[in-house]
Amino acid sequence: MSFIRYILWGCMLSFPLVMQARLEAADSIISRMHHAASQYMDFIHEYRAELYIKAQLDIIKKNRGFRFIPGLFRTPKDANRFIVETYSDLHYTAPNIYDQKIKAYTGTLGEAREIPGITDYFNVNIYAPYLMGQRLLSPLAPNSNKYYRYAIDSVSCDRQQRIEYHIRFIPRNKSFQLLDGRMTITEGVWSVREISFKGQADLLLFDCRITMGDIGTDTEYLPVKNDINASFAFAFNIMEGYYESSLTYKEIHHRRNTPEDSISKPNYNLTASFSLQ
């Protein structure tokens, strides 16, 4: 019995040390992730891409005033589900200017309309402090430790035996500006392979899953796939949408210095302070 008590006592003494080491490792990973994101957010100066979106829209509930809601579309009385496909040209210019032009539209819905506000969720720079303009604070932002709690769910390896960390981020407070989700970070380059998040903005509930390009390619810091589930509710009217999108890049222009270069010179570019709306 004395030997067993000795072993148990030793385990109790070593347990805090193990937990402290894990916490220090987690803090180091989060710190490197934030440092890398601050360099990646403006590495892409400009790009042109083809955006393909396939969507299913379901009318869950509607009243007589459904067709008179600004931003919504008129629907046949005997139909509550619609299939839509769109093809667009997308032009991005740093810091946060997106120009999306629909080139082709087809589907069972007669008008080229979407759930109000859903278009913005296809134009996301996950490394920027805010995902959309001045909304939705990114968990990758440098000061996001004040607003998010982080936890490493698991660790795995990709096909090239690179270590990947699966990180959970949780808002510290309830806010429409914060998100709840997970992301996968690759050790060494500290870039994001995939990120999923959900939240609420005004009348919209959204759940997004963004897949980034492969390491070493031109799309490493750009999304190549974006799946969105959204629900819009207003005045006893409820509409849900399920979107799948993919991007094919035609032109990508990077800044001259690489993301790994440390930023030591002061930044005199005030473009981000004067955004055209």
Supply the DSSP string of 4-68, one letter for each residue: HHHHHHHHHHHHHHHHHHHHHHHHHHHHHHHHHHHHHTTTEEEEEEEEEEEEEEEEEE--TTGGG
pLDDT tens digits along 49-60? 999 999 998 888
Instruction: Say if 7 falls within a structural domain.
Output: no
pLDDT of residue 97: 86
Inside any domain, residue 207:
yes
Residue 4 lies in a domain: no
Cβ neighbour number for residue 16 with a 10 Å cutoff: 9
Other C-beta atoms within 10 Å of 149: how many? 11
Task: Write the pLDDT tens digit of every residue in 30-49.
Answer: 889 999 998 898 889 999 99
- Cβ pair 127, 138 in contact under 8 A: yes
The CA distance from 184 to 155, in Å, is 9
The pLDDT, as a whole number, for residue 165 is: 92
Please give the pLDDT value at position 25: 65
- Sites in the chain below the pLDDT cut of 70: 1-25, 64-77, 110-113, 256-277
- Structural domains in the chain (count): 1
Domain with 116, as residue range(s), is: 23-255
Question: pTM higher than 0.85, yes or no?
Answer: no
User: Alpha carbon of 249 to those of 39, 138, 194: distances in Å?
Assistant: 22, 24, 18
Residue whose C-alpha is closest to residue 191's, from 47, 41, 33, 38: 33
Say whether the peptide bond before residue 76 is cis (omega within 30 degrees of 0): no
Side chain identity at residue 222, one-letter code: L
